[in-house]
Each structure stands twice: as structure tokens, then as C-alpha cells.
Structure 1
Amino acid sequence: MSMARPIVRPRNPCFSSGPCAKRPGWRAEALNGALAGRSHRSAAGKARLAEVIERSRSVLGIPADYRIAIVPASDTGAVEMALWSLLGPRGVDVLAWESFGEQWAQDIASQLRLADVRTFAAPYGCLPDLAATSAERDIVFAWNGTTSGVRVPDGAWIAADRCGLTICDATSAAFAMALPWDKLDVTTWSWQKALGGEAQHGMIALSPRAIERLLNHTPAWPMPKIFRLVQGNALAEGIFRGETINTPSMLAVEDHLDALRWAEDIGGLPTLIARAEANLAAIEHWVARAGWPAFLAADKVHRSCTSVCLRIADPAVTRLDLTAQAVIARRLAALLDSEGVAFDIEAYRHAPPGLRLWAGTTVEMADLRALFGWLDWAYAEVAP
């Protein structure tokens, strides 16, 4: 059934799940103070990098005794740094319910070749049994599944008196969800997610327990330079003061500082979380009204407020095979892209066919509401 073509357009059509939309009101002029052409090892360069670390600590509420560093290769680099540097002394439990958890499980088993590894897996849209993990073992997990739209509900399942470390990939949760720092020993995120920074740079926060492991554990494998947080028998202190292992982009540094200042100006973490949750609520209201889409995460408690993954629930589509469903979802995303109202919203390539909308803190609710009409119109155009 055809529908009238909408008139109102999102002012910002960027709903990609990474890199994500820039903060509201962002302009390139925000980079005018960047130390372009300057050494990141100059006093001014190191001061800017140290400012990123301390503003991140302040906005996220990271405890004063946790150490924070800027590391190479985005969140992926930060997670790999943690796995290569810290795993080995204990058995490892890995939670995998989407592509990145699956990747960490594969790397631990195939690259580090640890013998005592248990993987607790669940299909896209579901969580594995969190209670099956052991406090005696290291636990590796994503707080929010960027490619599945599923998040852990809280940290209650993590033992306060645990013996192992928790290593948490929080890249699509940081700045949009409340993270219980007392339950997280290693936490990683990237600049290009919830605050809409530019790609390449990762962050890692280490608890005192993680620091103790770093200083008392020597990995059984050679350590690439970009993973080394220890020099001799001591912590590489400079890394935690902004003396990065590799050369960062000072343009990206300035851009992330701009995003962090914006976060502070609008009210800090409570406001950031409230914006993302309100966006999710708006999507939930539209889904219930529209009828043809459904959440990949069936359990509302586990539903992500940042990477919102949708499937097509129309029986005319669900009765088709997955290849045909993928074609329809691809046509739907392409039509919205060609209209300039939503860019890069097709589901992740390994996820079930559907759409993925970033609804995090930098996305304006007015843009989402404007998009809903276009989604309905586009689906009417491509539906079988």
C-alpha cells in the first residue's frame, strides 16, 4: 500500500552506529584550536591528551584510583591490549551474543591459545546466562552488543568479591549507560561512538586489581609494542598521562575535547543517559504504532538505547527466506539513503536482516521523529 511521501526531514540524517552523529550544533570551526602540525609529545600536545583523560574521568565518574590511557586502534585495540596483557593466570569465561563478543572468544582461543576458555553464547537478540560465569575466572564481555541491540541489564551478576578480572568492552555503552565501576576491572571504549568523535583512538580504564595483575603477570607470548603497558617491572606511567604509544591525530583530539565539553555543558552523564533513554522510548512508541518493524531484542530489559536493532516483522516478509528478507532490508536502507534522510542504517552484515538506528546521546529526538514517517513510507515502497 503506497503512502504519501513525508515532507519533514531529519536535520541530521546521520544514524550510523559508528562513527556516530556529531554533537548537536557541531561545526568544523570547533577544530580551530587544534594543534595541527604540532608534536603530540610537546608540552602543549601532552597537556591536550591529558585533558582528554581527565575530562573522560570526570564525565564518566571513573574512580580516582583507576588509571586511564589513550591507546591505538580504537576500541578494538583497547580490548586486544587488555586480552594480550592480562589473560593467562586464570581460566576465562567469554560472553558472546553478537559479532564482537564472538571475535574476542575467537582471539582468546585461537590467537592466545588459552586452554581453559569457556564461551557462553546466545543468538542475536538474546543474552546468554550471565549467572553461569564464575567469580574465580576472568570474564570478558561487551556491556552493549552494538550489532545485536542487546545490553546487559546491570552489574548485579558480577561478584563483588570476585577473584578474576572483568574485562568489559563498553564502546557503545560509555556516555549513554550507567557503568558500575566497582564491578569493572578493565573497561574500553572509543571516541567515535557515543560522543560522535572521530575514529582511530581507543580508551582503556584499569582498576587497582587490573594494575596489580599487570605488574605481577608476565604473558607467555611476545607482546607487540602497541600493547605494552609495562616497562621492565613497572607501569609505563607516561601512557596514563597522555604520552601515547603511537601518534594520535591532534585534530581528533580537539574534536573529542569539544564533545566532552558539550557533555559537561548539558549536565554531564545523567543528561547523556536521559537523552539516549528518551530516544529509545520514542523508537519503542513508533514500533508499536507502525506494526511492520520489531526489535531484535525481544526482552525490553535487555534492549539497547544506543544501537537499536530492528527486524521486519511483517508476515509478508517473515515467510520469505533470509536471502529475500535481506534484499528487502537492503532496498529499504538504500531508499532512505538516496532520499538523504537516513545514512548507513542497514543491519550489521553478520546480523539477521533488518535495520540498525543509532539513538545515542548526540542524536536529537526531533530527528528520530522526523525519520519515523520516512521509514513507514519507504517500507510501503519496498514491501512485497
Structure 2
Amino acid sequence: MTDLTPPALKPERPYFSSGPTAKFPGWSLDKLKTDSLGRSHRSALGKARLKYAIDLSRELLGVPDDYLVGIMPGSDTGALECAMWTMLGARPATVAAWESFGNVWIQDAAKQLKLKNLTTLDADYGEIPDLASIPQDNDVVFTWNGTTSGAKIPNTDWLAPGREGVTINDATSAIFAMEMDWPKLDATTYSWQKVMGSEAQHGMLILSPKAVERIESYDPEWPLPKLFRLKKGGKINRGIFEGATINTPSMLATEDYIAALEWAKAIGGRKALFERADANARIVYDWIEATPWLRNMVADPAQRTNTGVCFVFQGDWYDSLSPEEQADVPKKIVKKLEGLDVAYDFNGYRDAPPSLRIWCGATVEQEDIKRLLPWIEWAYESLKNGQL
């Protein structure tokens, strides 16, 4: 008879959401500086704190000195769409997607911008399309790491050095967990609330000299809302990349992001962040491989993320269920473990196949992941035996 005794230990920090992600270990409100609160973001203090967030981001990510780093409204979506709206349309473009957010960029290009010379590439959850088929002259929009599928690009070999087109990279669930190949990237975007677990709403836009040249030399045929206007007098508005944001930012969110960056710097910078994410993901990878009723959503190990690890169910019992019953399996597991305060927000994405998704980024502790996995086993066996 199956032992349905629940595990003895719960994760101390039951936060496994893929966004907003867990706060860094030791986080508390009293770690945030508050001098800038209630002040204008245009004040010397406000601009200095925003510039400090930009400078720390540049340092930790190893962004080249001649690239611009700016704070944008609207999270990663605002930053990425700003890049698309200001740069695309000048030459043929390819938008590649292999999960839900990448498909939003396809819809933007096809239905909103209505690009005249557009190619789209897509793939099912857990796979990536043939990126090598993209013409090097084309502008390219792609998602480095699929937040909702767990599939990442294995390398950037498909991008030729010195290629003619600009490369727009949505890196929001990869940044601070995987090394960016900066010489091949012209616009890279991310949000504070993803890998660093900071408060949401603001995004980052990192531009190469080639991206700046495109913006300065090209005026798209469509109207640009104020939030996307990066030029002033025909030139890039460099003030945006020195702390003079386009619109009013949250200084509280800014201070929360700064605290996370300072934590990352204190533990050893991006190398330490990469190592923590890799170690966390390895725990989950090994557990999936050792669990007969699970499989990684991504078949190719070279394409598996070290952040949002996604996995699906298999086996005789699961396969005997109707599609509706299969869809209920992860929902019931998540509901049970959330109710017990074991783990929060580790359900698979709503448009993905029925699945679970454990965030393994650097702000999550290994011990908490190790404690979570037996609880998933217990919940699955309880459900299988009609006791959940």
C-alpha cells in the first residue's frame, strides 16, 4: 500500500512563482532606503538613485561601455514594444516564438505594426524553431528563454557577427541567470520583477550603438506614443539612459530593485547568480529524470532553462484520464500545496499543456526546492489514490 504520510519539512520560503519571483534571501522592507520617497524623481536625489540602478545593472550584467541602459515604463512589455515600435519596418523582419509571450510579439508585428516584409517562426511548447533559417539581413525579434515553456536558445551561433539586421532580445526570464552575448544583441529588455524578484512595473532597455544608429536614422510610418519616444531633436535622448525617465517611476520599486542588485553584488555578481540558478535547476532536472510519472517539457537538454523549469505528467494512470481530468491534475496539486503553505504559484502557464513550473532563479534557496519535491510526490500519490 502506498504510504500517504505527508513529508515532515516544508520550504521555509514557499515562493516559486515565475514572476514576480521570490525576493532575495534575507529581504525585508527595512532594507530599502526611503530618502527618495515623497520626492520628485526629477530631483537630484531621485535622478541619482535611478542612475545608480542603471549603473549597478550595467556592472552586474557586464554591459559594454558603449551600450545605453535605460529604465522604461510598462515592465518588459513596455521596453520590448518600445524597441519594436521604434526600430522595425526599416528592413525585412523575422519574429521567432516558442511560447506565449513570444507569440505576443508576433501579433504585434503582424496585426499592430502590420509589417510589410515579415516572416514568423514558431514552435510548440518545449521546442524552438529553426533559428538558423533566419536571413542575416533581417531584423530579428526573439525570446532568449521561454518563461512559459522552459525552452531557451542553446547558443547564438545562428546570429552572424556584424550582421546587417538589428537583433531585439526579450531576455526577461534569462537575464541574471544566463550570459548574454552582447556583441550580437542590439536591443535587450527585461523587467525588475523576474529574475531578481523586485517589484514590478518597470522594465530595462539596453541598446547597442547599431540600435542607436537605427533609431536616429529611421522614422517609422506609424505614430509613436509618448512612452516610446526615445528621440529628441532627431537624436537619441540620452537623458533617458542617465536617470531622466520618460514618465514617473515608482521610487519605492526602484529602491527594491537596488536592494536586489546590491545583494547580487555582495554574493559575487552575475557568476554567483548563474551558479545558484544552475544548482537549483539541476536538483529539479535530476528529480524529474528519477520520477517515472514526470518528464521535462523540453526534450533537448541543451534547450532546457535554468530558471522556470516546466514538466508534464505521464504514465499509465495519467494516460487513462480524460483530457479534462488530466488538466485538473496540476491544478489540484497546486491548490492542495498552496493551502498547506508548502508552495505558492508553481502551476504551469494557462495556455501551456497541463504542467507544473518551478522557478529556480538565484533568489530561490536550494534547500527550499529540495523540501518542495517530496510534497509534489505526496500530492500526486494522494490524488492517484483518491485522497486529495
Q: How does 1:339-378 map to 2 (within 5 A)?
A: 339-378=340-379
Q: Which residue of 1 aligns with 2:213?
A: 212
For residue 151 of structure 1, give the secondary structure of its aligned residue in structure 2.
Answer: coil
1:11 equivalent to 2:28? Answer: no
The CA deviation at 1:326 is: 1.0
Count residues with an aligned counterpart: 384
**Contact 1:322 1:353 (8 Å CA) reproduced:** no
Deviation of the 1:34 alpha carbon: 4.7
Alignment of 1:60-209 (within 5 A): 60-209=61-210
Once the two structures are TM-superposed, the CA of residue 32 in structure 1 deviates from its matched residue by 4.0
Counterparts of 1:309-348 in structure 2, within 5 Å, are: 309-348=310-349
Shift of 1:360: 0.3
Contact preservation (8 Å) 1:34, 1:251: no
Structure 1 window deviating more from structure 2 (314-323 vs 129-138): it is 314-323
Distance, in Å, in 2 between the alignment partners of 1:315 and 1:345 is: 24
SS in 2 for 1:85: helix
Instruction: Determine whether 1:25 maps to 2:26.
Output: yes
> What's the CA shift for 1:20?
0.2
Partner letter of residue 187 of structure 1? T
Return the alpha-carbon distance in structure 1 between the equivalents of residues 50 and 13 of structure 2. Answer: 29
CA distance in 2, matches of 1:116, 1:336: 48
Amino acid at match of 2:352: A
- 3-state SS, counterpart of residue 176 of structure 2: coil
More displaced 10-residue stretch of structure 1: 48-57 or 153-162 = 153-162
Q: Confirm or deny: 8 A CA contact 1:16 1:357 kept in the other structure.
A: yes
> Does the 8 A contact of 2:162 with 2:184 survive in 1?
no
Q: Is the 8 A contact 1:328 1:383 kept in 2?
A: no
* TM-score normalised by L of structure 1: 0.98
Question: Hey, what's the Cα distance between the residues in 2 that align with 1:229 and 1:286?
Answer: 47
CA shift at 1:290, angstroms? 2.5
> Which residue does 1:39 correspond to in 2?
40
Q: What is the rounded CA distance, in whole Å, between the counterparts of 1:51 and 1:314 in structure 2?
A: 52
In structure 2, how many angstroms separate the alpha carbons of the residues matched to 1:76 and 1:371? 31
Q: CA deviation at 1:161?
A: 2.4
* Alpha-carbon distance, 1:314 to partner: 2.7
Structure 1 residues 48-97: Cα deviation after superposition (integer angstroms, max 9, x where no partner): 00001110000000000000110000000001000000001111111111
1:87–1:324 Cα change, 3 Å: same
The one-letter code matched in structure 2 to 1:189 is Y
Aligned residue type for 1:170 = A
1:285 CA displacement: 1.5
| Offset of residue 272 of structure 1 | 0.5
Structure 1 residues 154 and 34: CA distance shift in structure 2, 3 A? farther
Distance 2:323 2:127 in 1: 19
Matched, 1:58 2:55: no
What do the CA deviations read for 1:128-147 (whole angstroms, capped 9, x no partner)?
A: 00101111000100000000
- Distance in 1 between residues matched to 2:355 and 2:36, nearest whole Å: 42
Give yes or no for contact 1:15–1:342 (8 Å, CA) kept in 2: yes
> For residue 285 of structure 2, what is the aligned residue in structure 1?
284
Rounded Cα–Cα distance in structure 2 between residues aligned with 1:73 and 1:319: 44
**What SS does structure 2 have at the residue aligned with 1:49?**
helix
Unaligned stretches of 5+ in structure 2? Answer: none
Q: Is the 8 A contact 2:15 2:21 kept in 1?
A: yes
Structure 1: distance between partners of 2:36 and 2:319: 53
Unaligned runs of 5+ in 1: none
Q: Does structure 2 conserve the Cα–Cα contact (< 8 Å) formed by 1:34 and 1:254?
A: no
> Secondary structure of 1:16's match?
coil
Task: Quote the Cα distance in structure 2 between the aligned partners of 1:159 and 1:318.
Answer: 44
Which residue identity is paired with 1:106? Q
Shift in Å at residue 30 of structure 1?
1.2
Contact 2:50 2:254 in 1 (8 A): yes
**Stretch of structure 1 that moved more, 28-37 or 210-219:** 28-37
Q: Aligned partners of 1:323 and 1:97: how far apart in 2? A: 24
Q: Per-residue deviation at 1:116?
A: 1.1
In 2, the alpha carbon distance for the partners of 1:315 and 1:30 equals: 50
Between 1:361-370 and 1:33-42, the stretch displaced more is 33-42
Distance 1:186 1:9 in 2: 41
The CA deviation at 1:105 is 0.4
Deviation above 4 Å: which 4+ runs of structure 1? none
* TM-superposed deviation, 1:246: 1.2
1:261 equivalent in structure 2: 262
Q: Deviations over 1:19-40 (max 9, x none)?
A: 0000011111112435211111
Q: What is the alpha-carbon distance in structure 2 between the residues aligned to residue 231 and residue 321 of structure 1?
A: 58
SS where residue 358 of structure 2 aligns?
A: strand
* Offset at residue 289 of structure 1 (A): 2.2
**Contact 2:93–2:117 under 8 Å retained in 1:** yes
Q: Retained in 1: the 8 A contact 2:60–2:265?
A: yes
- What letter is aligned with 1:131? A
CA distance in 2, matches of 1:34, 1:271: 30
Q: Name the CA distance, whole Å, in 1 between partners of 2:138 and 2:240.
A: 28
Alpha-carbon distance in 2 for matches of 1:175, 1:43: 29
